[in-house]
Amino acid sequence: MSALPGEILKKSFYDLNYSDLEAVIKQNNLNQSVAGILFNWHYKKKESIQCRDNISKSSLAFFEKHFDFSLPEIDTVQESSKDRTVKFLFKLKDKHKVETVLIPFNNKYSICLSSQVGCAMNCSFCFTGEQGLKRNLTTSEMVGQFLQAWRWLASNRPGEERILNIVFMGQGEPLHNFDGVKKACEIFLSQRGTSIGVQKITVSTAGYIPGLKRWLQEVPGVNLALSLHSPFTEKRNELIPINKKYPLAEVLTYIDAIPLQKKQFITYEYILIKGLNDTADDAKKLGALLAGKRAYINLIPFNAFPGSRYESPDLNEVENFKAILDTFRIPTLIRGTKGDDVLAACGQLNSKNSANSL
Ligand code: SAH
């Protein structure tokens, strides 16, 4: 990536968590109150213009000189005509593009963030996986998706700028970009800033054990979702090739060890693909595997895309599958088709527009 003169040394302000910011301030002998002021301005007020709160001119000049305050640029916005779903295509500095989706619930929104450009997991049902991994997103690019979506709501749907849940279920494998995602979560959680509650953030993984191990130690309390997709080894190997290296049984031993708060669950995502994993046998095996766990199942009818090798299931098969899981007393939700006219349902970021290439 070529940088403009003078830009190369500038680190993004939005890559700093609160303690990083405090360290910068200390090293440069600035007033300690500046950390709180800047976090308040950028993350609580979410202002796009330079900080006008009570901050000295010299501190402001220091930050302007050494830090970049730009955010990923909104390239395209698609608003659903059926509901209030919004899909953003962001253009990054190196011209790669990633998608972010705002999903409405009541008068609020959940935001589905991308964590990588492309993905290395190569899942056979996933459009992003077909393209391989281009690179990790930086923390500022993830925080930037949130801030830009918030500002878009503030200007286009004033009064609706309430994004209460964050899910890392867009493009990429968040646990494969561990450090970047961890720091983004720290920024979202900071009470000095956006102050999102720990149980309002969910990280979805295909079962990448190296990240999972660290996650449990380093980011306690944040919700976890596992893309399970089949309880049978051979089928899961086909759907999620990293299952060969990190088998489901081992993944579950780590997940079972997570201490859960009252009312906290692990979400298990299960894509239903016609004739592959949607039979009564699949449902029974899945039910038996998860029965007794603090589990919540999200059934996701496969969303076909041009060139995909699988088909979506019939609606009655989806209902039958759920009915079997009900007999195991596992709460199960069939994921709706919010924003399907803009191909925006989270995790189905597969429109032609989403091409991640330069
Ligand atoms: N790598 C992470 C997060 C990205 S995928 C993970 O594997 O969990 C997020 C969710 O989107 C996954 O549960 C995945 O199953 C779902 N998804 C991806 N492609 C899809 C498609 N074509 N149809 C339906 N769901 C899809």
CA of 305, closest atom in ligand 1: 22
Residue 68 bridge partners (DSSP): 12
In 3D space, the residue among 275, 314, 298 whose CA is nearest the CA of residue 348 turns out to be: 298
Tell me the CA distances in angstroms from 56 to 22, 24, 181, 342, one per residue in order: 16, 16, 32, 46
Token pair for 299: 């059934």
Largest CA distance in the chain: 68
Find tokens 């994921």 and name the residue. 335
Query: What is the reported pLDDT for 129?
Result: 77
At residue 352 the predicted structure's pLDDT band, cuts being 50, 70 and 90, is very low
Rounded to the nearest integer, the mean pLDDT of the chain is 90
Q: How large is the C-alpha radius of gyration of the chain?
A: 21
Contacts of 88 (CB under 8 A, 6+ apart): 74, 75, 76, 77, 99, 100, 101, 102, 145, 148, 149, 152
pLDDT tens for 63-101 read 999 999 999 999 999 998 888 899 999 999 999 999 999
60: exposed, middle or buried (C-beta count within 10 Å: 0-12, 13-18, 19+)? middle
Structural element, H or E, at residue 138 = none
At residue 357 the predicted structure's pLDDT band, cuts being 50, 70 and 90, is very low
For ligand 1, the distance from its centroid to the CA atom of residue 236, given in whole angstroms, is 14
At residue 304 the predicted structure's pLDDT band, cuts being 50, 70 and 90, is confident
Instruction: Give the range among 44-58, 130-144, 190-204, 232-246 with minimum mean pLDDT.
Output: 44-58
For ligand 1, the distance from its centroid to the CA atom of residue 29, given in whole angstroms, is 46
Ligand 1 within 6 A of CB of 99: no
Mean pLDDT of 137-162: 96
Mean pLDDT of 94-109: 92
Find tokens 């081992």 and name the residue. 250
Give the CA-trace dihedral at 128, 129, 132, 136, to 10 degrees.
Answer: 70
User: Contact, 53 vs 37, CB < 8 A?
Assistant: yes
pLDDT tens for 2-21 read 445 545 579 999 999 999 99
Ligand 1 within 6 A of CB of 113: no
Spell out the SS3 assignment of 64-75. Answer: HHHEECCCCEEE
Q: Look at the pTM and tell me if it is higher than 0.95.
A: no
For ligand 1, the distance from its centroid to the CA atom of residue 267, given in whole angstroms, is 13
pLDDT surpasses 50 at 354: no
Instruction: Give the range among 33-42, 46-55, 202-211 with minimum mean pLDDT.
Output: 46-55
At residue 338 the predicted structure's pLDDT band, cuts being 50, 70 and 90, is low
At residue 130 the predicted structure's pLDDT band, cuts being 50, 70 and 90, is confident
In 3D space, the residue among 194, 101, 182, 103 whose CA is nearest the CA of residue 145 turns out to be: 101
Kindly list the catalytic residues: 99, 346
pLDDT tens for 264-302 read 999 999 999 999 999 999 999 999 999 999 999 999 999
To test the ligand 1 pocket, which listed residue (110, 126, 205, 255) has its Cβ within 8 A of the most ligand atoms?
Answer: 126
For ligand 1, the distance from its centroid to the CA atom of residue 325, given in whole angstroms, is 21
